[in-house]
Structures are given as structure tokens and as C-alpha cells.
Structure 1
Amino acid sequence: MMSALEERRRRAQYRAAHRGTLEMDWLLGRYAAAALAAMSLAELDRFEGLLTLPDPELHAWITTGEGSGESEYATLIMQIRTFHGLGPGQ
């Protein structure tokens, strides 16, 4: 039987990889596959919150890094950008 935490991770993985656009499926799905297992409860809460945001906003934050600085998700966006080799100045 799957624990509640494992179930949340599984659902977050599915939601990350099935956004509706191939590019966002890839950006968030690959990150989720690599990072979810190591996330704390607080980090998982934050990631689930990020998944509720609209794709155009998320896509801009992840690909350009602009506009996410004031967001509560700024650290998570930077982690996703770094995972994909899109760190500062890239």
C-alpha cells in the first residue's frame, strides 16, 4: 500500500508531466522525476503550489528567469532552471 506522501509525490509527478504543452511537460516532468523523491514535505507543498500556476507564466519564469524574483517560488524556479542548465546569465 502506498503511503500518503508517496501518493502525493506520484500525483505531483503526473501533474508536472501532463501540463498540456510538450515543452512544459518536459521542463517540469523531467525535474519532478529527478527531484520529487528527495523533497521534504515543505518542498513538496511548494512544488504542488507551483503546479497550480498558469503555463505561460511558469514558462517565462523557467526559460528567462525574469519576473520570478519577487515570487514565493523564486528558489524553486532557480532549482528548475539549474537542473535544465539555465542558471543565471544563461
Structure 2
Amino acid sequence: MTELDLTYNPHKEISLDDRRRRLLFRAWHRGIKELDLIFGNFVDANVKDFSEEDCIWFESLFEEQDHSILSWVTDGIDVPEKFQGDMMRRIQKLDFMTLKAK
């Protein structure tokens, strides 16, 4: 697995708690309703436990194109190496039929 570039961190001046709050907002406001449901529910349930590295992973993922992300999450096809791993597997295992809208 390719590591995320931890040297590029435009959010490093923001506290971890504030980064978590920003991720939660961004998770519910992706632009594609399917991703709002997937990421909103996932981040809602897990954000309190996110480490700085987890925040960097999501911040980096959220810079990608929504249609690509949706394909990676729902189809598991062509997931870039830097996004492969435990977090992506956990998201891919979500039961999409039980996700709740806000």
C-alpha cells in the first residue's frame, strides 16, 4: 500500500477536534446524495475515534472526484493504492440499505 503524503497537510494548523467537525460537515455535503449517505453515516458513527492520520486519509479522499469515489466504495474497482486498506474496507462493508438521511 502506498502511504498517504503526510507532508502535505493544509489543515495542520487546525485542531484535531475542529478537523473532525469539518470532516463531518464535508461527509454530509459531498454533492452526490449517495456519497452523503455513505460518508455521512460512516463519519457520524466513527469520527470521535479518528486519529490525525484518519483525518488526513479522509481529507485526501475528499479531494477526489465524487464519481470515482462512489465507484471505489460501491464496486471496489480501481481503488488507488493510497486509499486501499482498513478504512476503505470498513466503508465498503456498510449495509447501504440501512443508511439514514439527515
Q: Which residue of 1 aligns with 2:90?
A: 79
Instruction: Structure 2: give runs of 5+ residues left out of the alignment.
Output: 1-13, 97-102
SS in 2 for 1:20: coil
Task: Give the one of 20, 38, 41 matched to 1:27.
Answer: 38
User: Cα offset for 1:85?
Assistant: 3.6
Distance across 1 between alignment mates of 2:38 and 2:95: 11
Given candidates 53, 61, 68, the residue that maps to 2:72 is 61
**Cα shift readout 1:29-60 (whole Å, capped 9, x = no counterpart):** 11111111111111111111111111010000
- Residue 19 of structure 2 aligns with an amino acid whose one-letter code is R
Amino acid at match of 1:37: K
Structure 1 length-normalised TM: 0.82
Q: Are 1:18 and 2:29 an aligned pair?
A: yes
| Larger helix fraction of residues | 1
RMSD: 1.6
The normalised TM-score by structure 2 is 0.73
SS in 1 for 2:78: coil
Query: Relative contact order: is structure 1 or structure 2 higher (C-alpha 8 Å, sep ≥ 6)?
Result: 2
Sequence identity (%)? 28
Q: Structure 2 CA distance, aligned partners of 1:51 and 1:34? A: 18
Partner of 2:16: 5
Tell me the number of residue pairs that the alignment of Structure 1 and Structure 2 aligns: 82
Runs of 4+ off more than 3 Å: none
